[in-house]
Structure formats: structure tokens, C-alpha cells
Amino acid sequence: MSELRNTAQGLIVLQGNRMEDLRDLTLQWLGRQPLHPLARTLFLVQSNGIAQWLKTSLAERGGEPGYGVCLGTDVALPARFQWQAYRSVIEAVEGPGRVPTTSPYDKSRLRWRLMRLLPEALDNPLFAPLARYLRDDDEQRKHYQLAERLADLFDQYQVYRADWLNAWEAGDDILTLAGNRQLPVPEEQRWQPALWRMIGADLGQEQAHSHRGAVHRRFIAAAKELTERPDTLPPRIVIFGISSLPRQTLEVLASLAGISEVVLCLLNPCRFYWGEIIETQEVLRRYARQQRRKGMPAELHHSPEQLHLHAHPLLAAWGKQGRDYLQLLSEHDNTDVAAMSALLDQSVDLFLSPPTDTLLGQLQDDILHLRPVAETRELWPALNLERDASIRFHCCHSPQRELEVLHDQLLAAFAEDTTLEPRDIMVMVPDINDYAPYIEAAFGQFAPGEPRHLPYHVADQQQRHREPMLVALETLLALPRMRFRASEILDLLDIPPLRERFGLSESDLPTLQRWIREANIRWGLDAAQRSELGLPRHDELHTWRFGLERMLMGYAVGEASETGNDWNDIVPYDEVAGLDAALVGALYRLLLTLSQWRQRLNEPKTAIEWDQALSALLADTLAPTTGTEEALLGRVQAALEAWQEEITSAGINITLPLAVVRESWLGRIDEPQLSQSFL
């Protein structure tokens, strides 16, 4: 039963060239079209940042368009919601239990099934390319990485090339291309259809047709039979901040638009239709591929003025994805612009010209109005580029220098514009994990209160590179290959949860650092551990065993005499005395624990055995000291349980080496979640 009042039917598309305007229009729509008090609105977003921004906007007080509170809203990623929609609609028509809760073809599960199937397939001559790649893989790391890549490949096929998979299931090794042209699968790629059929056979008849392409066909047929919305579907779905969606997802949203209100907010830089705009090189490629009519010129001129008579070249070159998305979206757009504009008392196509007194403003206005370069040159007067700072290019010799220049430019911007606030600034980089150390070096060197201090936050960084507890966990999972350098152990002692587990405080660290340095501890647990790393077997000199024995001997016999009071070639280190001597005991317990886990982690285990072992590792080495650390440890343990369940459901019962376990478990912990904090 619908809870909507006075709502438009079909897929509603709201367009604008500014994200803030689209947000304001969306929130205004929510206010003008209230749902039942207990009904919920679902926002589909592509990132945690957009989700947090929308929630904050809803909760803002004292101005448009916020309402002072954010309640009755859910946020989800499109792919996750899509499977939920499949289940809701199909089970409403065919009955409960007709679609599994999680697809067996889901990428996280499929990789483990592939890891089990790949060794069985390598004897087949079709799989010779894979067999060559997987040679000399004692640690099975190549097997896991290949299985992960193939799982991702088949996941993409399910979304974008479901027709290929359907043909392969039927035994036809063909590729369907544009214009319904069909080509045979190249001989060197024949292993792909064969592997897909192996997966289906391994799943059995009941689950073989539960991949996304097959379920999508059932969903489209079931949606046509629905006359009212199932209770498991939200009455209102808002798609916001997503730059592109696959055809499958748009078909799902269009099918749901008859029973739920579906509003899609599209950030569009141009107010005119530009779906046919293509860049110079693409024109030339298409021209080269087509047969020339007799009498046509042998070549085209390479000037943008001739190939882009009605377009802006930047829009053609950098807007390919948006162009294709517009063409796809036009097939499903049922927006009644007049009715929607009357309902909102304003246009639903919010294309506003920016100020044109800067180079950036002129460029945005040219793209907004689809002006070609020739027309642009005639329209705009020349600007003083020395004073116009709207677009700047800085040539820097390293990432560190890039961040230093950025810091200086931001300081200058804040000095010039007193209304500018740090919350108004966003900096984008190609890979935030690569730039994070340089950001800390450039921006973190100034303490709060200093004139050059700028508050900042690094978002979207992998948690294991940011959270101290996860840094410690990654180090612990590398114990079998660790050299046990003094610096590595001291780095571990810098982690509060690990320090807490062994009864040490931050104030104890300077004393331990001095003792370790003066006892001449350098690296290695003992001579045996050094030899296990494939290094020459030396005596115990400068190992942890050597240093700890010196400390304990010094505590036992005190200061060494002139004649020497060493025993069994152990020279006492006499700085250990009094109540501080307990620190040696804590250090000994830490090294003993690490030594024991080094042996345990070096032995391959089944998934269930790894689950038990890694749970014990967490308990033995980490003790959260804050609520945040407890929550993070809970996430780590939940990720371990989900990891073990994925492997079990894939039928994996083989022993896995630590290298595979470490990579897959830490990778799962690093998966982004819409519920995690952002800024």
C-alpha cells in the first residue's frame, strides 16, 4: 500500500550543474512530499562522503533546506540495494525463498570457489595460459590473486555482459557486439567460457542460474506483474551523487518507479543535449574504420573547429562517461517537467550560469551553453591572467613539493578571503594512500596555534594505513618473515592496545628505548631465527636473547667489576634496577608471545583453524583502551567471521598459507562502509 501523496509516477530525473542546487531541490522535494511518519526514504550514493554530506544537510538548523534532524532515512550502495530489490520483487510474485540472500556468484564468495576450481582445471589444454602463470606458486599467492581478478572479471560480466554469460551457459562460445554482431571467442580466451561453465556445474542445478544476469531477467518479468509495492521495498528512492549507473541498475530503478517513488538527481555540466558529442580522435577513428564513398576527401582536417562546430572540446574529451550515461538515461526518463515544476514552484532543471569574471567561470559557462572554441574566443574579453587565480598549474618535482606548494597557496587564499573556512576546501589526489605520508609531513608539522597551522583530515584512506591497531595487526601477520629489528619492536610498543596487553605505559617507553640501545640489541630473536630467514647463522650477538640475558644478569649481579663478573659469556647490563626492573619482564613476555605466534602463523591451516588461531592472536596481543578501539576491534573480529563464512560457503576445505589469509582478511577490513566516519 502506497504512503505517497500527490507524487509523480515513473522515474523522475532532476538535473543541474551545481551539486548544492540539486541537494537543495531534493530536500525541498522531501519537504513538499512527506511520507507516512514511519516510512523511510532510501538514498543511493556512490561514496561515504556524499552520504555524510546529505545527512548533515538534512540535520542543519536555521536555514533552507535543512530540517534540524535526520531521521527516517537509509543509505545504501546501488549494487547492494539492487540484489535486495531482486529478492523483494521476485519473492512477492514467485513466493519466498526463490532468491538466495547472497548470490553464490558474489565476488567475495566467487574468488574462493575459483581458487578451489583453478587447480582442477589446469590439466585442460584450454587453460594453458593460466597454467603458465601459476607455475612456481608454493605460497598460493598467485592462485589467490588470479582468483580475485577472475572473480572481479565475472562480476563485471554479470553487470555489463550478461548476454555473453547466457550464451556461454548454453554452450555457445560467442561474443555479442554492437549491432548484434556475433564473433567467436578468440582461441586464447576460450578458457573463460569453459571456466564459467565449471562454476555453474560446481554450484549445481539449483544455484547455477542465480547469477545476476539470470536473476535480472526474472526480476523484469516479475516487476511487470506487480500491482503494489512489497513491504520490503522503500516507498521512496533517491539516487544522488552518482556519476554513472549500468544499464541493469537503471532498468531496476525504472521497473520500481511504478510502485515506488524514484528520484534521480543528475549532475550535468551542460544544459543542452550533448549525447552525440565526440572528441577529435574518436571522430578520426570512426572515419578510418568506415568505407569511404567515392569522391570523398582522403583525410579530415585535424582542427577542433571543424570537428567540434557545436561542442566544447573539453566536454567531448573528458565527458565520455557522462555522455554515454545521458544516452542511457534518456531511455528511461519519464519526468513530467511541467507538473514537477508546478509542484515545486520552480524549474526542475537547475542550470545556473556562474560568474564569468574569471577564467574558470568562463570555462564553466562555455560548457554549460555548449559553446565551441571559435564562439568562445569572440564572446569573452581578455583577462589579466596574472591576477586571475581561478585556474593555476604548478610544476613540482615531487609529491612532497606538491603538498608544500598547496599549503602555501591555501594560506594565501585564507589571507585574501576572510570568509573562507577550512570546511570549504576539498583537495583531490590520484591515490590518497600514496599521498598520505606527504600530507602528514606538509600539513602536520605545524601545531595548533601556530600561524601556519591549517586543520585538515585525510579521507578515504585505507584504515590499515591509518589506524594504529590495524598497523599493529598487519605487523603481527608478518611475524614469520620479520627480522625483529629493535625499531620494529619499538614501533609495536607505540601502539596503545598492544602496550596495554603487556602492562606497559607510554611513560615506560623512553626507559625501554635506552635499555635496548645500551644493551646493543639490533635484530633477530636468536641465532636460530636468523638462520630460518636464510641468513648466515651467527652467534647470539646483538639479538634479543643476547640483550635480555644481559639485562637479567645485570639485575641479578649488579655492576660489573674490573676483573669481570660475566657468567657463561654473558656480560651484565647493570642499568636494570629497582622497580623499573619489572619492565624487563613485560618486554620478555612480549617477545615470548611474538616468538610463539611466529611459529603458529607459519603453519598452513584450514579456514576454521585460521578463524580460531587469529581470534586467539587478537586476544593475546591487543587490549583496547578506548571505546573507539573496542569498536574497531569488533569490526576486525566481524570481518574475520565473515571471511571464514565466505570460504566455508564456497566449499573450500584446503589448507591456506598465511600470505593468502593476510591479504584477504586485511583486504576485507579495508572495504569501505557507508556507516564509517568520514570528516
Residue 675 CA to residue 672 CA, distance in Å, equals: 9
Q: Burial-class residue 110 by CB neighbours within 10 Å (0-12, 13-18, 19+).
A: buried
| Per-residue model confidence as pLDDT tens digits over 275-305 | 767 665 555 555 454 444 444 444 444 444 4
Give 405's contacts (C-beta < 8 A, 6+ positions apart).
Answer: 394, 396
**pLDDT number for residue 675:** 54
**pLDDT number for residue 637:** 95
**pLDDT number for residue 295:** 47
Q: What type of residue is 259?
A: I
DSSP-derived 3-state class of residue 10:
coil
Percent of the chain with pLDDT over 90: 54
Q: Answer whether residue 548 shows pLDDT above 80.
A: yes
With cut-offs at 50, 70 and 90, classify the pLDDT of residue 500.
very high
Residue 634 CA to residue 624 CA, distance in Å, equals: 10
CA distances from 604 to 108, 368, 475 (A): 21, 60, 18
Q: Average of pLDDT values for 31-50?
A: 87
**pLDDT number for residue 594:** 97
All 3 cell numbers of residue 556? 641479578
**pLDDT number for residue 169:** 92
Residue located via cell numbers 511520507: 35
With cut-offs at 50, 70 and 90, classify the pLDDT of residue 557.
confident
Q: Answer whether residue 333 shows pLDDT above 80.
A: no
Percent of the chain with pLDDT over 70: 87
With cut-offs at 50, 70 and 90, classify the pLDDT of residue 388.
confident
**pLDDT number for residue 291:** 47
The DSSP bridge partners found for residue 567 are 570
| Per-residue model confidence as pLDDT tens digits over 391-401 | 999 999 999 99
**pLDDT number for residue 672:** 66
| Per-residue model confidence as pLDDT tens digits over 436-476 | 999 999 999 999 999 999 999 888 777 777 789 999 999 99
DSSP state string for 279-319: -HHHHHHHHHHSPPPTTS-SS----HHHH-TTS-HHHHHH-
Residue 564 CA to residue 570 CA, distance in Å, equals: 10
> First vs last Cα of the chain: how many Å apart?
39
Domain spanning 1-102+211-274+311-351, CATH architecture? 3-Layer(aba) Sandwich (3.40)
What pTM does this model have?
0.82
Residue 300 CA to residue 291 CA, distance in Å, equals: 14
* Beta pairing class for 261-267 and 236-239: parallel
Q: Do residues 89 and 223 touch, judged by C-beta distance below 8 A?
A: yes
| Per-residue model confidence as pLDDT tens digits over 199-258 | 999 998 888 888 999 999 999 999 999 888 999 999 999 999 998 999 999 999 999 998
Q: Burial-class residue 11 by CB neighbours within 10 Å (0-12, 13-18, 19+).
A: buried
Residue located via cell numbers 595487526: 473
CATH of 107-209, one of 3.30.230.70, 1.10.10.160, 3.60.70.12, 3.90.1010.10: 1.10.10.160
Q: Answer whether residue 628 shows pLDDT above 80.
A: yes
Other beta carbons within 10 angstroms of residue 251's beta carbon come to: 19
Residue 146 CA to residue 132 CA, distance in Å, equals: 12
Q: Answer whether residue 167 shows pLDDT above 70.
A: yes
With cut-offs at 50, 70 and 90, classify the pLDDT of residue 11.
confident
Other beta carbons within 10 angstroms of residue 381's beta carbon come to: 6
**pLDDT number for residue 575:** 83
With cut-offs at 50, 70 and 90, classify the pLDDT of residue 139.
confident
Give residue limits of the domains in the chain: 1-102+211-274+311-351, 107-209, 353-392, 402-461, 468-540+578-669
**pLDDT number for residue 289:** 47
Please indicate whether residue 604 or residue 291 has the higher confidence score (pLDDT): 604
With cut-offs at 50, 70 and 90, classify the pLDDT of residue 316.
confident
Residue located via cell numbers 601502539: 495
Residue 210 CA to residue 202 CA, distance in Å, equals: 13
Q: Answer whether residue 384 shows pLDDT above 60.
A: yes
Question: Across the chain, what does the average pLDDT equal?
Answer: 86
Q: Which helix (H) or strand (E) holds 328?
A: helix 320-330
Q: Answer whether residue 61 shows pLDDT above 90.
A: no
CATH of 468-540+578-669, one of 1.20.1250.20, 1.10.486.10, 3.40.50.300, 1.10.3720.10: 1.10.486.10
Q: Average of pLDDT values for 519-528?
A: 91
Q: In this structure, what are the phi and psi dihedrals at residue 14, rounded to the nearest 5 degrees?
A: -105, 130
Other beta carbons within 10 angstroms of residue 611's beta carbon come to: 21
Give me the helices (H) in 95-190, please: 107-121, 128-133, 141-160, 162-169
Q: Answer whether residue 309 shows pLDDT above 60.
A: no
